[in-house]
Amino acid sequence: ELSSGINAEYGGEGAASEGDVHAAMNMAATLSCPTLFICRNNGYAISTPTQDQYAGDGIAVRAIGYGMRCVRIDGNDVFAVYAGIKAARALALEQQCPVLIELMTYRVGHHSTSDDSTAYRSIDEVNYWNKEDSPVGRLAQYLSTRGLWSKEQEDSYGKECRKEIMSAFSRAETERGPNPLWVFDDVYDTRSEQLSEQREELREHLEKYGENYSLDKFMPAE
């Protein structure tokens, strides 16, 4: 029976170096699974640049070794991404096969709040990509040249968004945080035995050492 839907897997070029990714692509190909493997190649796996991730021609070409279809797309082009993903999805459904998609882009921001990317790349490099090849900037320019967007609209919308975000921050700061036990509730539709055991261990730990965690700042579990 043919599948009426697809699976989608998202990861970066760093994640593509993990063994699980290779196993998943091989199984998807041999089992004819309609799956999109979407790789966002943004130049860095935390602090590891692409030249230290692979010596070959990126990620997309790996699909050939697994008998999969593949496509490389300009990840900073909104329309190219939409068209490429749409075509890949149609192919995956029609052929009941996996497709590897490599989106070429650049990570302007830090990897996380604990990351200082200036330790492994220059500010000039970041500024170049942010100014010359930003997906947001390219889309804004496209809309502006067609009279669909303007600098005045962007400035006004930016102020409106900032006001809305800061208002949401202010409201959130007055709310109690989510209960720690809730971290186990949205992983699977039905909680597994292992997760139930872990949840119970955490409940017992918090019951015993709760005074060390300021639990009054969190919502009740039930």
Catalytic (active-site) positions:
107, 111, 120
14 near 42, Cβ under 8 Å?
no
Amino acid at 10: Y
Which residues have CB under 8 Å from 185's CB, separation 6+? 191
Give whole-number Cα distances, 191 to 9, 183, 184, 195, in Å.
22, 11, 8, 6
CB 103 within 8 A of CB 77: no
> 205, 181 in Cβ contact below 8 A?
no
Please check whether residue 98 is in contact with residue 29, taking contact to mean a CB–CB distance below 8 angstroms: yes
- The span from the CA of 25 to the CA of 9, in Å, is 10
User: CA 22, 26, 27 angle in degrees (round to 5)?
Assistant: 115
Q: Which residues pair with 72 in a beta bridge?
A: 102
